[in-house]
Amino acid sequence: MAEGQEARTLDDLDRAVRALATHFKCDTTVIVGSQATLVGWPDAPILFRTSPEIDAYPGNAREWEAERRAEGHDIEASEEIFARFGQGSSFHHAHGFYIDGVDEGTAKLPSGWKSRAVTREVEVNGITVRAIAPTMTDLIVSKLLALRDKDKDFIREYHRVRHLDRAHVRRLLIDMMIPEARRIVIGAFLDSL
């Protein structure tokens, strides 16, 4: 594996949750992207856990941003995460991975994903903080919408290891605003599994 491409672990996930919870004074963090796998499937095969980053945002991001605006600072939580915990930061150098600051619009997830989300509780300074992440099926829907080569590899490997319920995935895709041409590409990829 290339440097920075080590497999992420629960310790890494917990460290990211603690960093965001402490800095943003929140009791919930949201993990998206491939490392969301760690929340519900921490011992997943290495392909699912190999990344130099954990995509995350604090559950109170919008409130935090509103408070900063009231103080005369126009900064998004994702920018703050990048500055404090992002690629090249002291956090990155100290821990061998970084937190990629994202927001609720970064990953295109099917409606209702939060009601199906998987959670992990992390103790942070005597307070229980919840890390929430999409289920693997919801995460795969998000990856189908992007359908980059790495997303295809992720989905193929998931299907090989756990067998993807393609009918369920198609039901989740129905309500999403997807151009017809893209729907055809996604359908063809699902059929190829």
Q: What is the pLDDT of residue 24?
A: 98
Q: What is the pLDDT of residue 172?
A: 96
Q: What is the pLDDT of residue 167?
A: 96
Cβ atoms of residues 67 and 21 within 8 Å: no
Tell me the average pLDDT of the chain: 95
Mean pLDDT of 143-159: 96
pLDDT confidence tier of residue 90, bands split at 50, 70 and 90? very high
The residues facing 99 across adjacent strands are 54
Q: What is the pLDDT of residue 1?
A: 37
Cβ atoms of residues 161 and 45 within 8 Å: yes
Mean pLDDT of 131-146: 97
Q: What is the pLDDT of residue 5?
A: 65
pLDDT confidence tier of residue 3, bands split at 50, 70 and 90? very low
Residue 47 clears pLDDT 70, i.e. is over it: yes
> CA 159, CA 139: separation in Å to the nearest integer?
13
Mean pLDDT of 48-76: 96
Q: What is the pLDDT of residue 112?
A: 96
> CA 110, CA 159: separation in Å to the nearest integer?
19
pLDDT confidence tier of residue 22, bands split at 50, 70 and 90? very high
> CA 151, CA 7: separation in Å to the nearest integer?
17
Q: SS3 of 101, please?
A: strand
Long-range contacts of 112-121 (CB under 8 A, 24+ apart): 113/138, 118/39, 118/40, 119/39, 120/13, 120/17, 120/38, 120/39, 120/40
Task: Tell the residue number behind the tokens 């995509």, with chain if given.
Answer: 55
Cβ atoms of residues 75 and 65 within 8 Å: yes
Mean pLDDT of 63-75: 96
Q: What is the pLDDT of residue 6?
A: 85
Phi, psi of 5 (to 5 degrees): -105, 20
Helix axes 149-162, 136-146, angle to 10 degrees: 150
Q: pTM of this prediction? A: 0.92
